[in-house]
Amino acid sequence: MASQGAPAVHPAVQTSKSFTPRIFSGIQPSGGLTLGNYLGALRRFVEKQEEGIETIYCLVDLHAITVWQDPERLRHQTREAAAAFIAAGIDPARSILFNQSQVTGHAELAWILNCVARIGWMYRMTQFKDKTAGKNAENSSLGLLAYPSLMAADILLYHATHVPVGEDQKQHLELARDIAAKFNHDYGEEFFPITEPVIEGAGTRVMSLRDGAKKMSKSDPSDQSRINLTDDADTIARKIRKAVTDPAPLPESVEGLKDRAEARNLVNIYAGLAATTPEAVIAEFAGAQFGSFKPKLAELAVSVLAPISTEMNRLMRDPAEIDRLLGEGAGRADAIAAPILDRTKDIVGFIRSRRG
Ligand code: AMP
Ligand code: TRP
């Protein structure tokens, strides 16, 4: 349901039609991917692929340019993100993997949805508020404000029913539901699905290693705050050893982590990497000092991440092959998107005489 303060979902169009299950998610190639992306998103993406549901994963370069990106870096980071997906277990033959700008339907549907969504809905987004905090919001790009409407277009262009994301994207997904519902209501047809967010597991909100109140982010100025998927074993171990913690040992139960953001974060990271629960981690390490817990965590992190970065390095040696795979993925994505976009145009009342 819509969050507090967000517009209400029109109940009449919310549930009655059933759509074939289809997963869509995206990651911005606006920097190197982090452990947060891995635990909150990438790992979930692989699980969904293994469940045999149709999975579509997108490197959202149109979203990335809502803040300035150096063109060569953007191209490099897009390839590197593609390599990270494949190295983490996304099989480009089973999942569709592509970069957003190659499927023009994203931008086209985003425009239509810009005319459905309300400006006030955009101003309410906490991510927009965070990204403009302390700056002149009037001087941010118009794209940054409209960003959630493009995100709704990404999802709705494929009639995706489920969207795996980290906790920070919840509000954007609620907005996507509201936009879909308003479109359906305004045009009197239950055309777009009301998408379900999939936010699950211990790693849905990985925090900075320097500040337990801040999310781990590829755009944090401090490299010490995050583990990058490209970090080598020594760097990973050093960052974990230096992670900010309090002096107390690990508690006897997860409730004891309530007011200890940094300790809770390291326990959650351990649980995410070991694919277990924070309860199980506490059961194993209750009473342990960080001096003994951190080396165990570093060892686990290296064992999970080192094979991924090795494989990424291998894939990055052949950028032409990555580009070829992305192009192939874009072709398959477009084949799903085109009839949905055509139908949207018919519903809206556009003349369409060149295709279909
Ligand atoms: P972004 O890097 O903002 O494009 O995010 C891509 C995906 O990774 C989204 O599903 C985010 O929710 C997820 N994500 C990003 N940072 C984190 C984090 N620190 N913890 C958990 N998930 C995250
Ligand atoms: N906004 C998302 C993020 O920064 C990325 C994204 C763009 C996305 N389009 C999407 C995620 C569609 C899920 C579905 O994390």
Per-residue confidence at 355, pLDDT binned at 50, 70, 90?
Answer: low
Distance 176 CA to ligand 2 centre (A): 11
Q: Is the CB of 155 within 6 Å of ligand 2?
A: yes
Distance 58 CA to ligand 2 centre (A): 9
DSSP reduced 3-state for 132? helix
Give nearest CA residue, ligand 2 atom 6: 26
Strands of the sheet containing 196-198, edge to edge, are 96-99, 54-59, 22-27, 162-164, 196-198
pLDDT at 48: 96
Q: Which of 294, 305, 322, 300 is nearest to 228 (CA)?
A: 305
Q: Which ligand is nearest to the CA of 157?
A: 2
Q: Which ligand is nearest to the CA of 154?
A: 2
Q: Is the CB of 257 within 6 Å of ligand 2?
A: no
Distance 179 CA to ligand 2 centre (A): 15
- Is the pLDDT confidence value at 2 over 70? no
Q: State pLDDT tens for residues 162-190.
A: 999 999 999 999 999 999 999 999 999 99
Q: Is the CB of 131 within 6 Å of ligand 1?
A: no
Q: Tell me the C-alpha distance between 43 and 64, whole Å.
A: 21
Per-residue confidence at 137, pLDDT binned at 50, 70, 90?
Answer: confident
- Is the pLDDT confidence value at 205 over 70? yes
Q: Is 22-203+318-348's fold the same as 223-315's?
A: no
CATH architecture assigned to 223-315: Orthogonal Bundle (1.10)
- Is the pLDDT confidence value at 11 over 80? no
Q: State pLDDT tens for residues 21-70.
A: 999 999 999 989 999 999 999 999 999 999 989 999 999 999 999 999 99
Q: State pLDDT tens for residues 269-326.
A: 999 999 999 999 999 999 999 999 999 999 999 999 999 999 999 999 999 999 999 9
Q: Tell me the C-alpha distance between 214 and 170, whole Å.
A: 17
Q: Tell me the C-alpha distance between 44 and 165, whole Å.
A: 8
To the query of whether residue 218 is one of the catalytic residues in this protein, the response is: yes
Distance 125 CA to ligand 2 centre (A): 14
Distance 293 CA to ligand 2 centre (A): 34
Q: Tell me the C-alpha distance between 186 and 175, whole Å.
A: 16
Looking at per-residue confidence, does 84 or 13 come out higher?
84
Residue to mutate, 169, 218, 229, ligand 1, most ligand atoms under 8 Å from C-beta: 169
How is the chain split into domains, by residue range?
22-203+318-348, 223-315
Question: Which one of the listed residues 48, 182, 215, 239 is annotated catalytic?
Answer: 215
Question: Which one of the listed residues 48, 218, 239, 294 is annotated catalytic?
Answer: 218
Per-residue confidence at 5, pLDDT binned at 50, 70, 90?
Answer: very low
To the query of whether residue 215 is one of the catalytic residues in this protein, the response is: yes
Q: Which residues of 324-340 are buried (b: 16+ CB within 10 A; e: fewer)?
A: ebbeebbebbbebbbeb
Residue with tokens 């995206």: 26
| DSSP assignment string, 260-328 | -HHHHHHHHHHHHHTTS-HHHHHHHHTT--HHHHHHHHHHHHHHHHHHHHHHHHHHHT-HHHHHHHHHH
Are the beta carbons of 74 and 61 closer than 8 angstroms? yes
Q: Is the CB of 169 within 6 Å of ligand 2?
A: yes
Closest approach atom of ligand 1 to CA 215: 19
Q: Is the CB of 154 within 6 Å of ligand 2?
A: yes
Closest approach atom of ligand 1 to CA 164: 10
Residue 321 CB partners (closer than 8 Å, separation 6+): 315
Query: Please, what is the end-to-end C-alpha distance for the chain in angstroms?
Result: 36
Are the beta carbons of 172 and 164 closer than 8 angstroms? no
Q: Which ligand is nearest to the CA of 170?
A: 1
CATH architecture assigned to 22-203+318-348: 3-Layer(aba) Sandwich (3.40)
Distance 301 CA to ligand 1 centre (A): 18
The pLDDT mean for the chain works out to 94
- The residue length of the chain stands at 356
By percentage, how much of the chain surpasses pLDDT 90?
Answer: 90
**Strand duo 196-198 + 162-164: pairing:** parallel
pLDDT at 202: 84
Per-residue confidence at 225, pLDDT binned at 50, 70, 90?
Answer: very high
